[in-house]
Each structure stands twice: as C-alpha cells, then as structure tokens.
Structure 1
Amino acid sequence: MDYDLIGRLLLSLPAADAENARMAALADRISTYFTRNENLIYRGVAGIGRHGGAILFLDKRRHPSRKIVVKYSLSDEADADLRNEAQFLEMLRGAEHIGQMIPLAEATLNVSGTGKRPTLALDFIPYGTIYAFRERMDQNRYRMPSRLLWLVRQVLAMAFPPQGGPDEPLRREQFHRHMPLGVMQNSPHGNNVIIGDLTSDDFEHSLVPIFKLIDFGRGEILPDTLDAVYTNIANIGVLFIILALPRVDESYIENVPEGGWPYEFVDKQTGEGRRMGTEAPPFFTRSKYIDVELRDLVARCMAIDIEDTPSLEQLVEEAERGVAKRPEDIVYEDTGVDPRQTEEDVPIRTLVQRFILDAGTIEEEAATLNRRTVNHHLGTTLLGINATTRPGPAQRRRFQQSNVEPDMVVDNDID
C-alpha cells in the first residue's frame, strides 16, 4: 500500500471525508494481517467506526466457499465489548436465529499495528438489517407471524443456550431440562437484527428470509433469571413494532407514560375482556392492518404488569400457532382487508424475490447504514484499497419455488 499517496489524498479531502478515509485506510492495513492466510481472500470493508470496524473475507476452507466478517477494536472499551461478545457467542453457538462465531486462528490473536487489539470472526449475513427489509416492502403485513416467531426463538436461545460445537449444523432453538439462564443481549434495535438466507426445505423460512440477532458486546447474565426472560420478551415487542411499521425506530419507547398506555384484549383462556397497561404505543395497537391475535400478543409482550405478560412457553406456543394459520384464519379489525392478498404464498414469494433477494447494489446497501460507506472522492467502496479486484457481477440462483426450475440473476453485492 502506498501510504504517501494516501496521506496526500487525505490532505485534499474535507475534514469529515478525511476521517472516513483515514479509518478505511486503517481497516485496509488491518486486513493485511489476515491475508497472510492463503485460505482468506480480502473482499473489502464491511463497516468502520471510531472504536472499531469489520472487514470482509472470502473463506476458501469450505466448499463452496463462504464469506466471513472479522471485527476489530480500537479502544479499551471496544476491546472489552469484543471479548464479551466472543464469550456469549460461544455460549450461543449452534442457535439457528443467532449470528454465529467462526473458528479462525487469526481471530484469537492481537492485530499488530493497531495497539495490540483482539479480533472476532463471524459468519457473514447477506441481506442487511431489518430497517432495510421493511423499507423495501410497501406492504409490511406479509408473514408477520413468522417475524414474531423468529424474535421469540432468539429469546429462547438466550434462555436455553445450545452451546454447540464449532462448525456443527445449526439447530432449532428449544427448551431443555436445565434451568434457564438470564442471558440478555442489551441492545435491542433494528441494526442488530440481520436478514439471513431462505431455507427452501423449511416451512418457516421458505417464504421470508430468516432473521438473526447479532452484537452481544453488551451482553450479560442477570442473576434474576425471570427478570431477564421477561425483559427479553418485552424487547420482542420493541423490535416487532419496528418491523411492522415504516419510519419507526426504537426511540418510541422513550415516550411511554407512567403505567403505560391502556389496552383492552380478550383473554383466550377465560373469554373475558381484560384491561392492562402496555408500552406498545397507540399507533401500533390501533392499527387495523395487523391480525388482531398477533396485535394482542405483541401488546402483552410489552405489558407493564408481569401478570399480563405471556410466559416464554406460552409465547412460543402462540407464535408457532400463528405461523401455521391459513390466510382465511387471519382476522383484521378492518374488514376491508383481504388476507389472501397479503398472506398467501405467491405474493409473499414475489415480494421477497423482488425487494430482498434481487435488491442490493453496493450503493443501495450503503444507504441502509448509519454512516457513509462510499467515498466518491477516491472512487472506492469503503476505500477497499487492498481488496482483491472484483471479477465482475457474480451469478447466483434465484429463489426456487417448488417444482419450478431455477434461473439465474446477477448479484451486484460484494463477491
């Protein structure tokens, strides 16, 4: 790398761009530590920040090869977060709805040239955050029960960590005979739920891509297990509302009145009407475009009184039942909504294909992030000065419906 050239370029940029360029150049420099491994091909920078960043590699140890992300830290605080994340991801290894740590010898060492900082290798999850997911979809009613179930499964993994082995197949989160743990992720916002792949042979993930929870840098284990589980259940509601409603982020939770907002629902066990306080805001609970049972369940997840909150066992049961519903079983408060237009397989497949699997130039993906990722002064994406030259758009298979021959589409994402 020509550092003299980089220095001259930095001097020619505005201050903000110069800082971005400096951090990206540092990421490129860090990448050279890993490119000594002949199994790793550097593909660019996945993210940069003042306290650390992430770089993207193609890992040839598997056939077919896979992409991995290596996170690095640049401060003592970030060091602690990264080590903490590694501890929790080791515990959660094997959980289907949790981002997975990748065995990589270099990731257990300190990176020279950056103040001797630790690194962490993670499985690359391709399709961006849930913010990108919902903003690409004009109709946010599609397969909402599935989204809730995946959030529930993330909480189930934290309560009953699978502790799988390295490179073992992922498995469905489940209860086990041991007492639950009070594991909390402690950062429930839309940038920490990532869209994964479709699984064509799995009913739950055959129509809408799987969601995975990432970033356990602030994770902790509470001694009060019940408190941890119910706090995680409340966070399911926080994230689900972000998913369900456009132009909403987690900041809405800051405006909850004392005692919560009043909400009335019918107790399914007794058939009686009940009234409770909930942190679910009126703009969600008054929505006429969400299945009434699903809306009740989310509002109860965010109940002020724990007695109004479903247990984790009840929540899993209700969420699984919701996913199994047929379109004609769904009841909207607005009787003018035709569930066949929103919950049947064909429109869902079409929507996901168009707005998720077929979307994604680098510039479009960059627009979903909080900071600039394209430096037009240098004509590079996240600078990527040392990145291997791209061979051009790669071919990848279009999502295959049953009994339909797949065709090919151009993948403009990072190869």
Structure 2
Amino acid sequence: MKDAGRQVPNRMLWSMFLCLTRARIAMSYPPWGSVANPIERESISPATAPLKLIHDDLHDENIMLGGLSHSDLEHRLAPILKPLDFGKAAQNPGADIDSAVKRNIQDIGKIMTTLVMRVYAPWAEQDVVVNVRDAQGLAVPLKVYTHPRLDEVSHISTDLKDLIFRCQSVDAQERPSLEELLQLCGNAVNNSVAQDYRGIPGYSSFWETDEAIRDLEQRVLLDADTVPATGRRRSLPGPQPATVSPNT
C-alpha cells in the first residue's frame, strides 16, 4: 500500500463515518420490498420500531471497500464501506431495542478509531477518561473503551474526535443516537470544505482539498499493490513519499 504514511483526511473520515452510520441504519430499519425496486438510500423510519439486529463481529477485515462516485456527494471523496460476514449476526431477544442499536454504534466507533489510527488493535483497548464537549461547548469527562492513544491524534478536528469517543462510551446511554450520527455526519459531508481545517495546529488544510484526497485515493486504493494474503494484517506498512505537497 503506497503513501500509507499520510493521515486519513477529516473530510474523508466524515464520509466514511456517514457510510457506516447508514449501514447501521439499514440493520435497524431494513428497506423491505422486492429486489426489483429502485435502490434507496438508508433512512430512519420514525413510525417503525427498529430491529434488535447486531453484527457481533465487525472489524477491519469484515468491511469491503466499494467504488467511488464523483456524482454522489456522500461518496465522491471516500469509497463505500460494505460490512460483510454476518455469520454471527443475530437479533438479540434478550436486549431492548436501544441496547442493540447502541451496540452497533459502538462498533462504528471502533472502525472509525481503526481508520484514524491506521491500525486495528483490539488488544490495546482500555478504559480511559477523555474530555469531550457538551451541547454548550464545555469540556466534560467521559469514560470510554478505546485505543489509549486516540486522544493523542492531532490532525482530526475536535468535533470529529469527540463523536468517535462518544460512540465508544462505556455507558451506552452516553453514546449518540442513530439520528444524531446521521445529522452530524451528514452535515459535515455536505457542508465542510478544506478551509474549515486551517486551525488545526501542525496540520495543513491542503490535505483536505479534493485534489489531495483524490491523489491519496489513487495511490492507496486504486494503485494498491496486489499481493497474496499471508495472514491477518493488523497495521499498515510504513510511510512512503507523496508526490503532492501543500503550498508553502
């Protein structure tokens, strides 16, 4: 994999976050109908009770990358993420509906942590207390179960990091709802631009431009090395030089 030393840009992460949210919405509110019906974007149906369906085995190797679509705002900067291997998936009759949904939301947080950290390391997860902003913008402590170094990542925005943390709250009731995730991620995907990330210390907003993101996708995804699988990879290879650089 080329250019693995570059961080995943915020705008790309937001698109992936939204895609994972829609995948979880599909598990809670499956679109009933004939296979001949037109494909519809996943949405929440307030009049329908969500299913108690959990995946129960979601990790980096159970997600397939789909294609890019420059005509689709939600996937013009990031590929479709397709959860697979539903062998352990089940409706949990012993749990209430909210518990099943919150479990799936925790899984979203774990995958987002993997994308940010560029390593899948469930053995490293532990209880940590972090500060996240509340609705009034005040920092409040939150106990989360996650990679202990996630809080040290400096290139992602505070609102993105806070949302990833909240998804992994030890207290399930502190995790966001699907409705909130859909609203926050959708707003970021539809409205954020590269200039929004100029204030992140030590990080150039150049990496958030369409040009830089598409160059990264070309190198990491479309021009990825094809080698036989030799086992379960748990981290990305070391950094490689990039061919584009921010203006200085």
Question: What is the TM-score with the length of structure 2 in the denominator?
Answer: 0.83
2:140 aligned residue: 274
2:97 aligned residue: 225
Mapped to 2, the partners of 1:247 and 1:235 lie a distance apart of 15
Amino acid at match of 1:141: V
> Secondary structure of the equivalent of 1:172?
coil
2:236 aligned residue: none
Aligned-pair CA distance for 1:270:
2.2
2:176 aligned residue: 310
Mapped to 1, the partners of 2:18 and 2:3 lie a distance apart of 21
- Aligned in 2, Cα 1:282/1:331: closer, same or farther, shift over 3 Å? farther
Mapped to 2, the partners of 1:139 and 1:168 lie a distance apart of 41
**2:205 pairs with 1:344:** no
| Higher relative contact order (CA closer than 8 Å, sequence separation 6+) | 2
Mapped to 2, the partners of 1:327 and 1:191 lie a distance apart of 30
From 217, 220, 245, the equivalent of 1:355 is 220
> Secondary structure of the equivalent of 1:295?
helix
- Aligned in 2, Cα 1:368/1:242: closer, same or farther, shift over 3 Å? farther
Mapped to 1, the partners of 2:139 and 2:33 lie a distance apart of 44
- Aligned in 2, Cα 1:356/1:167: closer, same or farther, shift over 3 Å? farther
Structure 2: runs of 5 or more not aligned: 234-248
Cα contact 1:291–1:331 (8 A) shared by 2: no
From 107, 112, 115, the equivalent of 1:240 is 112
Larger radius of gyration: 1
**Which string of whole-angstrom CA distances, capped at 9 and with x for unpartnered residues, describes residues 119-172 of structure 1?**
xxxxxxxxxxxxx7xx76332322111111111111111111113423544321
From 37, 57, 66, the equivalent of 1:187 is 57
Cα contact 1:192–1:213 (8 A) shared by 2: yes
- Aligned in 2, Cα 1:331/1:235: closer, same or farther, shift over 3 Å? farther
Mapped to 1, the partners of 2:104 and 2:230 lie a distance apart of 25
Cα contact 1:189–1:250 (8 A) shared by 2: no
**Which string of whole-angstrom CA distances, capped at 9 and with x for unpartnered residues, describes residues 290-315 of structure 1?**
11110000000011123421111111
> Secondary structure of the equivalent of 2:208?
coil
- Aligned in 2, Cα 1:154/1:252: closer, same or farther, shift over 3 Å? farther
2:185 aligned residue: 319
Cα contact 1:136–1:356 (8 A) shared by 2: no
Alignment of 1:3-152 (within 5 A): 137-142=4-9, 143-152=12-21
Aligned-pair CA distance for 1:204:
1.4
Mapped to 2, the partners of 1:308 and 1:227 lie a distance apart of 12
Question: What is the TM-score with the length of structure 1 in the denominator?
Answer: 0.51
**Which string of whole-angstrom CA distances, capped at 9 and with x for unpartnered residues, describes residues 347-376 of structure 1?**
111121222123353xx2x237549xxxxx
Alignment of 1:148-163 (within 5 A): 148-163=17-32
**Which string of whole-angstrom CA distances, capped at 9 and with x for unpartnered residues, describes residues 262-314 of structure 1?**
111221x2232211101123301221111111000000001112342111111
Aligned length: 227
Aligned-pair CA distance for 1:261:
0.8
1:251 aligned residue: 123
Which contiguous aligned blocks of 4+ residues in structure 1 show a shift greater than 6 angstroms? none
1:367 aligned residue: 229
- Aligned in 2, Cα 1:207/1:368: closer, same or farther, shift over 3 Å? farther
Amino acid at match of 1:281: H
Query: Higher strand proportion, which one?
Result: 1
From 163, 175, 178, the equivalent of 1:297 is 163
- Aligned in 2, Cα 1:251/1:154: closer, same or farther, shift over 3 Å? farther
Mapped to 2, the partners of 1:359 and 1:281 lie a distance apart of 27
Mapped to 1, the partners of 2:31 and 2:50 lie a distance apart of 11
- Aligned in 2, Cα 1:331/1:289: closer, same or farther, shift over 3 Å? same
> Secondary structure of the equivalent of 2:169?
coil
Mapped to 1, the partners of 2:223 and 2:145 lie a distance apart of 36
Task: Say what the alpha-carbon RMSD is for the aligned residues.
Answer: 2.1
